[in-house]
Amino acid sequence: MHSTAVTRPAHSDSGSPPDTGGGPGTFGELLRAHRERHGFSLAQLATQVHFNRGHISKVETHKRTPSVAFAEACDRALNAGSTFTSIATALEATARQRPGRVHPAQLPSAKRCFTGRRECLNQLTRRLQDAGQSLAVPVAVINGPPGVGKTALAVQWAHQAVSDGRFADGQLFVDLEGPEPGTAADPFDVLEHLLRAVGVPGDNMPADLDQRAATFRSYLHGREMLLVLDNAADAQQVHHLLPGSAGCAVVVTSRSRLPGLLSRVDAVTVPLAELGRPEAAMLLRAMIGDARADADPAAVAVLAERCGRLPLALVLAAEHIVSCQHRSADQLATELELDNARLNLAEGDVVLRNSFDTSYRALDEQSARMFRLLGVLPGQVIDAAASAATAGVSQDEAVRLLRGLASAHLIRRQDERHYLMHDLLRAYAADLSRQLDGDSAKPGRQAADTALVA
């Protein structure tokens, strides 16, 4: 009975009318028949299915293609089993096979040695795949310090979702080139890349930002696409790029908490910290191989700690062992006792210290100075009073600066007045302070000692 719904002539994306499943016994006809049998007006059905009456009317008169989400809502409201869902699913499948239909698959490759992060992956699935009946586009923001594995997690989850059959209309991936707002990608240019990827010809490119954003939303409407916005600088950059309809989902990664984004969109935050002890050792083992890891498991554990269990440092250390055939985990762990050696961990053009540099350069002058001075504060816990004394600022000002550094994930909030700093970031900050603050930091450090004793 439904076959007529899927055998109508296909349209191309270039302007011919969409296949709306029209004709006798098809989606539109059936919808009207079921609605009238239930005695529902268009407005009453609209209230039930949470789509407006204009949308329903267009579907009934074959002017608009029903999405699977709409069909599911109709099945529920009209007690129709899976009648509407199966037609809409078949329509979608036909539309996807249409010649000329663009189907971007831009995800970078997943990592062979991806390790751990089980709870984060589940959280992403709950938010992005099981979004229920919400009409809002589901958005997840993965944030955390440099090199903690935000991109790796986003890509891993995206590949899993695709292999589970989600986002069949395509996956878009774009590097927003944060965290420095000054050098980050301009949403105007990013939209050109995205519009081309979904099939908009270059000579049809809208001339202003709002039009580009609106055209992008139009192209995504009714499609089931995943958008990964990697390395975002700020909320404003992200905001222009968001799809408007709920079949799509968005994963954003950022070193920043992206203040201002959560008030604009219904997003969940997935904060990432360094790996746990077992996962960090597992990652090293997966990369250096069982033979080397079994030769000295204790050294592997020490090496993981010297790398602060930060994935970027772990990967660089493992690559170093693998590339220098005679280097053991124990030898490298001993070398990495020195802070400088740890910060200079490098393979090819990836240098640990450079990865921290980009976050540091994004700070304003006062925050940068506070960050450097935190590196030379004694003790593990950063106290607001001690930071104020070191930097020679009021406690309120110190709290403000500490909050900003926590928002950039350069320190981690323990409570309103206490913060923690990752070992490698502390070493990096101390190194900068030695170079840039010199003796001028000494009185501050003494004052901080006094503040702590008091």
Binding mask 243-262 for ligand ATP (x = CB under 6 A): ----------x-x-------
- Which residue stretch of 146-154, 164-172, 185-193, 235-243 sits at the interface with ligand ATP (rule: CB under 6 A)? 146-154
- Which residue stretch of 108-116, 158-166, 241-249, 420-428 sits at the interface with ligand ATP (rule: CB under 6 A)? 108-116
Q: Which is nearer to ligand ATP, 151 or 387 (CB)?
A: 151
| Residue in the block written with tokens 């004793």 | 453
Q: Which of 265, 214, 193 lies closest to 235, judged by CA?
A: 265
Phi-psi map region of 62: left, alpha, beta (phi>0 left; psi -120 to 50 alpha): left
Q: Which of the listed partners (ligand ATP, Mg ion, none) does 311 bind, with a CB threshold of 5 to 8 Å by partner kind?
A: ligand ATP
| Residue in the block written with tokens 């009409």 | 135
Number of residues that bind Mg ion (CB under 5 A): 2
- Which residue stretch of 33-41, 59-67, 308-316, 443-451 sits at the interface with ligand ATP (rule: CB under 6 A)? 308-316
Q: Which is nearer to ligand ATP, 142 or 384 (CB)?
A: 142
- Which residue stretch of 56-64, 118-126, 300-308, 310-318 sits at the interface with ligand ATP (rule: CB under 6 A)? 310-318
Q: Which of the listed partners (ligand ATP, Mg ion, none) does 194 bind, with a CB threshold of 5 to 8 Å by partner kind?
A: none
Number of residues that bind ligand ATP (CB under 6 A): 21
- Which residue stretch of 76-84, 96-104, 106-114, 428-436 sits at the interface with ligand ATP (rule: CB under 6 A)? 106-114
At CB < 8 A and 24+ separation, what contacts does 360-368 make?
360/410, 360/428, 360/432, 361/180, 362/178, 362/179, 362/180, 362/181, 362/233, 362/408, 363/404, 363/405, 363/408, 363/410, 366/393, 366/401, 367/401, 367/404, 367/405, 367/408
Q: Which is nearer to ligand ATP, 254 or 390 (CB)?
A: 254
Residue facing ligand ATP at closest CB distance: 149
Which residues, including other chains, have CB under 8 Å from residue 337's CB and lie 6 or more apart? 306
Examine residue 113 and tell whether it contacts ligand ATP (CB under 6 A). Answer: yes
Chain positions 344 to 363 lying near ligand ATP, rule: CB under 6 A, are 355
3-state secondary structure of 424: helix
CA distance 353 to 338: 14
Examine residue 149 and tell whether it contacts ligand ATP (CB under 6 A). Answer: yes
- β strands within 156-280, DSSP E: 170-175, 225-232, 249-254, 267-271
Examine residue 21 and tell whether it contacts ligand ATP (CB under 6 A). Answer: no
Examine residue 148 and tell whether it contacts ligand ATP (CB under 6 A). Answer: yes
Q: Which of 271, 238, 290 lies closest to 113, judged by CA?
A: 290
Looking at 26, 65, 171, 231, which residue binds ligand ATP (CB under 6 A)?
231
Chain positions 135 to 164 lying near Mg ion, rule: CB under 5 A, are 150-151
Contact 329, 300 (CB under 8 A): yes
Q: How far is the CB of 361 from ligand ATP (least distance, A)?
A: 13
**Which residue type, as a one-letter code, is found at position 285?**
R
- Which residue stretch of 64-72, 131-139, 219-227, 307-315 sits at the interface with ligand ATP (rule: CB under 6 A)? 307-315
Q: Which of the listed partners (ligand ATP, Mg ion, none) does 404 bind, with a CB threshold of 5 to 8 Å by partner kind?
A: none
415 DSSP β-pair partners:
418
Q: Which of the listed partners (Mg ion, ligand ATP, none) does 113 bind, with a CB threshold of 5 to 8 Å by partner kind?
A: ligand ATP
Give, for 76, the enclosing helix (H) or strand (E).
helix 68-77
How many CA atoms within 13 Å lie on the side-chain side of 191?
27
Examine residue 146 and tell whether it contacts ligand ATP (CB under 6 A). Answer: yes
DSSP one-letter string for 262-294? TTTS-EEEEE--PPPHHHHHHHHHHHH-HHHHH
Examine residue 311 and tell whether it contacts ligand ATP (CB under 6 A). Answer: yes
Interface residue list for ligand ATP (CB under 6 A): 111, 113-117, 146-152, 231, 253, 255, 283, 311-312, 315, 355
